[in-house]
Amino acid sequence: MLSVVPIVRLPTDAANPTRRLLVVALGCLTSALLAVGSAAAQPPSSEGQPPPATSVSTPPPGSGGKGDEVVETQWGPLGPADRDFLFKVKQAGLWENPAAEKVAAKSTNPKFADASKTIVDGHKLLDRVVDRAGLLLGVELPKEATSEQQGSLGEMDAAANGDEFEVLFANRLRAGLGTVYQDAANMRMSTKNELVRILTNQAMITLLEHIKALEATGRVDFNGGQPAGNNSSGQQGDQQAGTDDTADGTIPSVPPDSKFTRTAGQNGAFGGNNGVFIGALVVLVLSLASLRLITRAKKTKRKSRAY
């Protein structure tokens, strides 16, 4: 941002080198204050920068507890509701991805192709985050979708290509996504575990994008919701599951581009630097006023000596 320095008419005797140097110094001070304020008001840019990796120890698989156990971890207590949420997020990907892959063979509608791509791309990150969270918390995550979810996939296979499949796909997935989205919001408010809280953030971001993509197909029944049939929300209690062997000891984090940023209107006329600009302007005006008073005092003193 360009520094703005007010133009102030100087007294005629300001040609004195010392006074002129003082005025220049004050102008530089004002510019420096504005530059510092501009830098301070801008959020640090993380574009292109991966989140910092934090080395942590990996607990033994299954050490995250089972049933009603509450286990203390370095990120906070981990209870049955936390583990159940990890299962739901993991199983969301275990049936949404196969469902999305059916679109190419069952629909020629480009809107469904877009929705399918959104779902597959979104789970590339969400699945990685939930896998990492499960690994670091010692929770064994499921490797298969629930029986209800598998039943929904079977219905999609049996549905006729075109309209029948599209209606079933859009409404069944949206209903399941909506349930997990609500669970994520509730868990965000109740969990005491930092990693689970991070997972809820990413889950809400990703699942909302999937819901919006399904609604954009024009096949969602906003009055009836999901077609009669299985509940594919992925609700399921603690269960034995396989482990994920991939890990590099990095705490999962929300993508930088998902953060809220302030708009120019919110920042003010000077990009959030209004206070700094006014303060610098006051310093400059007061300094010039003091210089003017000193100059007048010296003139008066010289006149008194002349008499």
What average pLDDT score do residues 93-117 get? 94
Q: Alpha-carbon distance 159 to 157, whole Å?
A: 6
H or E, element range at 77: strand 76-78
Confidence band, pLDDT 50/70/90 cuts, at residue 85: very high
Q: What is the pTM of this model?
A: 0.57
The answer to whether residue 251 scores a pLDDT higher than 90 is no
Q: Which residue has the higher pLDDT, 51 or 262?
A: 51
With both helix axes pointing from N to C terminus, report the angle between 194-215 and 110-137 in degrees, rounded to the nearest 10. 170
Q: Which residue has the higher pLDDT, 307 or 37?
A: 307
pLDDT computed for residue 13 by the predictor: 47
Per-residue burial over 86-116, b = 16 or more CB atoms within 10 Å of its CB, e = otherwise:
bbbbbbbbbbbbbbbebbeebbebebbeebb
**Fold adopted by 71-250:** Ferritin (1.20.1260)
Sorted by where each begins, the domain ranges of the chain are 12-42+274-306, 71-250
User: Could you give the count of Cα atoms lying within 13 Å of 269 in the half-sphere of its Cβ?
Assistant: 6
Q: Alpha-carbon distance 31 to 29, whole Å?
A: 5
H or E, element range at 78: strand 76-78
Q: Which residue has the higher pLDDT, 263 or 23?
A: 23
pLDDT computed for residue 58 by the predictor: 77
What average pLDDT score do residues 113-142 get? 94
Q: Which residue has the higher pLDDT, 23 or 68?
A: 68
Closest CA to 165 of 212, 101, 223, 224: 101
Whether 3 and 281 have beta carbons less than 8 Å apart is answered as no
What average pLDDT score do residues 248-265 get? 45
Written as one string, the DSSP assignment of 265-287 is HHHTTTTT-HHHHHHHHHHHHHH
Residues 184-203 have pLDDT tens digits of: 999 999 999 999 999 999 99
* Cβ atoms within 10 Å of 69's Cβ, excluding its own: 12
Q: Alpha-carbon distance 60 to 7, whole Å?
A: 69
